[in-house]
Amino acid sequence: MSTDPLAAPDTARDASAGWEAVVGSIGPKVRALRRERGLTLQQLAQAADVSTASVHKVERGDMVPTVTTLLKIAGALAVPVRFFVEDSEPTHAAVHTRFGDAVRTGPVVITGPPDRFRSSGTVARLEPGEERPGLRRAGETLLVVLEGRLDVEVAEARYVVAAGEALHFPSWLEHRCRNSGETTAEIVAVDVPDV
């Protein structure tokens, strides 16, 4: 057995370097998400129910947040706490979805996982006469008609959206979609929640 310290890796040092990298990435991740959401330090602190000084120190790396503080910040930024302690770079930066004929059997989710992305999207087909009520929630909805035609009612206003057209509206308004045409309507619906 070799006594040379260079002969085998120092597992304690490797482990220390691993958690130090994770801890060191928390502040930049908090800052990046806060800026992406358009929040000031004070707004994030208020939403998380922690002091502005604490948020500032976490972002600068001057303070390692407690589990409770990190949970509060994660909640205020609408991300799971694991976002802050997983590898900085996901294995795959993009999500590529193939849906093709699968849309015939029902709506197909075309967006990435909600722990990595804010928006959610589906591709769906509505048969002639088919109607779907919209789900009301804070945020926005973008409907894009790829084929056919869709009658959309948003807060008692009516729109006819044909192939090659889109309709964008606040999701919290009462809304519903109906295919009143004679052919199948194929649509893409993208929802972006308020955060």
User: 148 and 185 in contact (C-beta within 8 Å)?
Assistant: yes
Tens place of pLDDT per residue across the chain (195 aa): 444 444 445 555 555 556 777 788 888 888 888 887 778 889 899 989 999 999 999 998 888 899 999 999 988 888 888 888 876 555 556 777 777 766 676 777 887 777 677 788 889 999 999 998 888 888 899 999 999 999 999 998 999 999 999 999 999 999 999 999 999 999 999 988 875
Query: pTM value?
Result: 0.54
Nearest to 120 by CA among 103, 133, 108: 108
Phi, psi values for residue 190, rounded to 5°? -120, 125
Nearest Cα to 193, choosing from 137, 125, 155?
Answer: 137
